[in-house]
């Protein structure tokens, strides 16, 4: 401790204190005592000849005494540092509205005095009081947790790199310092693996550009490769069907076939080799559906007392063994849900705790720290030293959800803040970071969830909530200012104002589609009495109608159709700037065509039948 203080840098806490004085004394020898004399403080020039020779002993004694005082101060500081948690637990902890909950290690949190809407956390409790949106969350200082990863799920609606070029600066501004990229079939696989890539997959140049952009905006890129479950994009191909756990389902790998591991090594190698800047790799390994149902697995379990947990871990060990052997220093992450079901003994025996950190995911809006305790306790007892958490800013409220519920996702992050506050009392684990997941599909075969531009306001709210330690008026103002909105209504999941963030036009246009397209068409077709009475499906089928009656509703229907067609053309133009053609077509077919096609068909029949000039019914 002593040598560290003496060598303190100008940025260290010791600089300018007793340690700095010692350095001055060393430079000037015994003249140090005269620097502290009243004559020196009054501004008299220092001259070593002025000091009487008889004062040498006194100066030496005084020097030794001051050195002793400095050493005592250093020792006290060391004791306080070692027992800082004990001291902290003696008093309730406050966090000001401007405090940097996820701030850099060099930042400090200052108590700015009593704040409105500040909650005090009774430190003896495991959970903090429930926080409603708009209230300040009280947190301990966990500034050492530096990683805040935004999840980019590319198995659906993968954006063009030109859009990421606009989004990455925003992510950094909002407090993210990394992106977790789940490429799936958007990665430019080559050679034997080329069959895996989408027709619109990124090129190798795109992958490099993404990393350059991330580096420019101080975002760590963490690639995610599914290595057990959620392997549909691989196992759907006839070439790899034999590697399925259950022949009928493309969800999960059969871990007993040697070619499974060989294939995974090839996939991992190609991805890792294109991410040489990355220090982390995520191996997925969640939701391994149907594990144990294949014949090979049944035979293995019959010989091993039905121990499915060990069977799962054996495969994970093989994957991790490859990574640690071939890519020394690359750290691994994995989703934790499968680990929750496995015994502490099996986890300890596997030894995976030395090579991977579990990412505990929980997406419910309101949960208590106690719900996470069993998992954290198990992981600590199993030998894990660090853990990650995973929240959600979109993609968890329904497989076909088109508009993110803001309050739902905000409350999920407020719940995670309570867990972070209580973590030291829950389990002896170090929190390394949090992943803000933004799922684009529930799996490879499901429809699209909320588009990324539509989810940006939710992401901004959630990120800033983590950064500031709660959702206060200051937090809200920061989000509104960054996004260019005037106001927001959390419960209604709406934001008012033009918006200046990348994709703001798509945000507003999807809002119109989501809120008005279906309703307006339903009102025209189902509630217009003239249509129901004189232009029913029967009339249209037999081309039998009176122009006099048709004209009573025709202008309104034609105008509605014209307005929506014009609007959708503009929307398509905006979507094509961000997305590839397959995404645009899929989104239109799922969210526009089911409703607009009804109006299109009605208008087509209207135009055809009115030209018949009230002819007899067609047979």
Q: Tens digits of per-residue pLDDT, 56-71?
A: 444 455 556 666 665 6
pLDDT at 61: 55
Is the pLDDT confidence value at 451 over 70? yes
Is the pLDDT confidence value at 361 over 50? yes
Is the pLDDT confidence value at 393 over 60? yes
pTM for the structure as a whole: 0.77
CA dist., res. 118 & res. 135, Å (int): 7
> For 87-128, how does the pLDDT look when each residue is reduced to its tens digit (9 = 90+)?
232 222 222 222 222 223 223 223 333 222 222 222 222 233
Q: Which two tokens stand for residue 387?
A: 């853990």
Among the residue ranges 47-56, 89-98, 135-144, 448-457, the one predicted with the least confidence is 89-98
**Secondary structure (H, E, C), 498-556:** CCCCCCHHHHHHHHHHHHHHHHHHHHHHHCCHHHHHHCCHHHHHCCCCCHHHHHHHHHH
pLDDT at 618: 83
Torsions phi, psi for 389 (to 5 deg): -115, 160
Residue 83's pLDDT band, with cuts at 50, 70 and 90, is very low
Range 378-400 average pLDDT: 97
pLDDT at 371: 93
Concatenated DSSP letters of 104-160: -TT------S--TTBPPBPTTSSSPPP--TTSBPP----TT--EEEEEEETTSSPBP
Mean of per-residue pLDDT scores for the chain: 83
Inter-helix orientation angle 204-216/161-174, to 10°: 20
Residue 149 near residue 176, CB atoms below 8 Å? yes
Is the pLDDT confidence value at 471 over 80? yes
Q: Give the number of other CB atoms < 10 A from CB of residue 328.
A: 7
> For 184-236, how does the pLDDT look when each residue is reduced to its tens digit (9 = 90+)?
999 999 999 999 999 999 999 999 999 999 999 999 999 999 999 999 999 99
Q: Which two tokens stand for residue 149?
A: 């990863």
Residue 167's pLDDT band, with cuts at 50, 70 and 90, is very high
Instruction: Outline where 443-502 has alpha helix (H).
Output: 452-468, 473-483
pLDDT at 63: 57
Residue 362 near residue 336, CB atoms below 8 Å? no
Say which DSSP state 398 is in: -
pLDDT at 425: 87
pLDDT at 73: 64
Is the pLDDT confidence value at 430 over 70? yes
pLDDT at 78: 55
Residue 170's pLDDT band, with cuts at 50, 70 and 90, is very high
pLDDT over 70 percentage in the chain: 77
Is the pLDDT confidence value at 317 over 60? yes
Q: Which two tokens stand for residue 589?
A: 């077919």
pLDDT at 415: 97
Is the pLDDT confidence value at 24 over 50? no
Query: Would you name the residues annotated as active-site residues?
Result: 287
- Gyration radius (Cα) of the chain, Å: 32
Higher pLDDT, 354 or 71: 354
Is the pLDDT confidence value at 560 over 50? yes
pLDDT at 606: 96
Residue 301's pLDDT band, with cuts at 50, 70 and 90, is very high
CA dist., res. 339 & res. 191, Å (int): 34
Range 426-451 average pLDDT: 96
**Helix, strand, coil percent values for the chain (each to nearest 5):** 55, 10, 35
> For 243-289, how does the pLDDT look when each residue is reduced to its tens digit (9 = 90+)?
999 999 999 999 999 999 999 999 999 999 999 999 999 999 999 99
H or E element in which residue 102 lies: none
Q: Which residues contact 458 (CB under 8 A, 6 or more apart)?
A: 393, 394, 404, 406, 409, 410
Among the residue ranges 90-94, 144-148, 292-296, 407-411, the one predicted with the least confidence is 90-94
Concatenated DSSP letters of 59-99: HHHHHHHHHHHHHHHHHHHHHHHHTHHHHHHTS-B---TT-
């Amino acid at each position: 401790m002593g040598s560290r203080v003496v060598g303190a840098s100008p940025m260290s806490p010791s600089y300018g204190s007793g340690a700095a004085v010692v350095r001055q004394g060393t430079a000037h020898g015994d003249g140090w005592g005269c620097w502290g004399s009243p004559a020196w403080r009054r501004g008299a020039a220092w001259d070593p000849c002025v000091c009487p020779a008889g004062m040498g002993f006194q100066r030496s004694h005084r020097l030794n005494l001051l050195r002793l005082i400095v050493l005592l101060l250093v020792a006290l500081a060391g004791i306080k540092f070692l027992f800082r948690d004990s001291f902290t637990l003696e008093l309730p902890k406050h966090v000001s509205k401007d405090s940097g909950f996820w701030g850099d290690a060099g930042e400090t949190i200052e108590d700015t005095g009593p704040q409105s809407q500040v909650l005090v956390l009774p430190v003896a409790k495991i959970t903090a009081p429930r926080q409603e949106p708009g209230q300040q969350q009280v947190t301990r200082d966990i500034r050492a947790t530096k990683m805040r990863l935004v999840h980019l799920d590319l198995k659906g609606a993968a954006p063009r790199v030109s859009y990421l070029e606009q989004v990455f600066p925003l992510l950094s501004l909002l407090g993210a310092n990394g992106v977790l990229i789940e490429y799936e079939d958007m990665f430019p696989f080559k050679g034997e693996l080329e069959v895996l890539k989408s027709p619109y997959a990124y090129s190798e140049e795109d992958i490099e550009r993404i990393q350059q952009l991330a580096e420019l905006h101080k975002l760590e890129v963490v690639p995610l490769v599914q290595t057990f479950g959620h392997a549909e994009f691989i196992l759907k191909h006839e070439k790899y069907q034999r590697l399925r756990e259950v022949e009928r389902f493309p969800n999960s790998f059969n871990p007993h076939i040697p070619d499974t591991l060989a294939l995974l090594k090839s996939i991992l190698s190609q991805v890792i080799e294109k991410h040489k800047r990355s220090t982390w790799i995520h191996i997925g390994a969640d939701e391994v559906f149907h594990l144990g149902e294949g014949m090979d697995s049944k035979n293995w379990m019959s010989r091993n007392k039905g121990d499915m947990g060990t069977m799962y871990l054996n495969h994970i060990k093989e994957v991790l063994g490859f990574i640690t052997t071939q890519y020394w220093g690359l750290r691994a992450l994995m989703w934790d849900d499968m680990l929750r079901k496995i015994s502490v003994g099996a986890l300890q025996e596997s030894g995976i705790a030395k090579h991977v950190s579990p990412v505990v995911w929980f997406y419910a809006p309101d949960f208590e720290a106690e719900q996470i305790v069993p998992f954290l306790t198990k992981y600590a007892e199993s030998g894990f030293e660090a853990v990650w958490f995973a929240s959600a800013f979109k993609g968890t409220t329904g497989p076909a959800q088109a508009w993110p519920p803001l309050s739902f996702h905000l409350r999920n992050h407020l719940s995670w803040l309570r867990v972070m506050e209580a973590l030291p009392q829950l389990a002896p684990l170090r929190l390394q970071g949090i992943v803000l997941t933004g799922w684009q599909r529930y799996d490879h075969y499901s429809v699209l969830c909320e588009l990324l531009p539509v989810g940006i306001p939710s992401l901004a709210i959630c990120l800033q909530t983590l950064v500031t330690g709660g959702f206060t008026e200051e937090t809200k103002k920061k989000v509104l200012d960054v996004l260019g909105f005037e106001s927001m209504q959390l419960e209604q999941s709406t934001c008012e104002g033009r918006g200046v963030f990348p994709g703001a036009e798509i945000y507003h246009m999807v809002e119109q589609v989501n809120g008005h397209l279906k309703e307006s068409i339903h009102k025209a077709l189902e509630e217009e009495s003239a249509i129901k009475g004189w232009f029913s499906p029967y009339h249209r089928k037999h081309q039998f109608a009176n122009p006099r009656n048709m004209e009573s509703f025709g202008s309104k229907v034609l105008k509605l159709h014209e307005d929506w067609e014009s609007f959708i053309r503009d929307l398509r133009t905006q979507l094509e700037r961000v997305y590839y053609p397959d995404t645009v077509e899929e989104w239109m077919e799922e969210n526009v065509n089911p409703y607009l096609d009804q109006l299109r068909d009605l208008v087509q029949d209207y135009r055809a039948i009115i030209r018949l000039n009230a002819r007899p019914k067609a047979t």
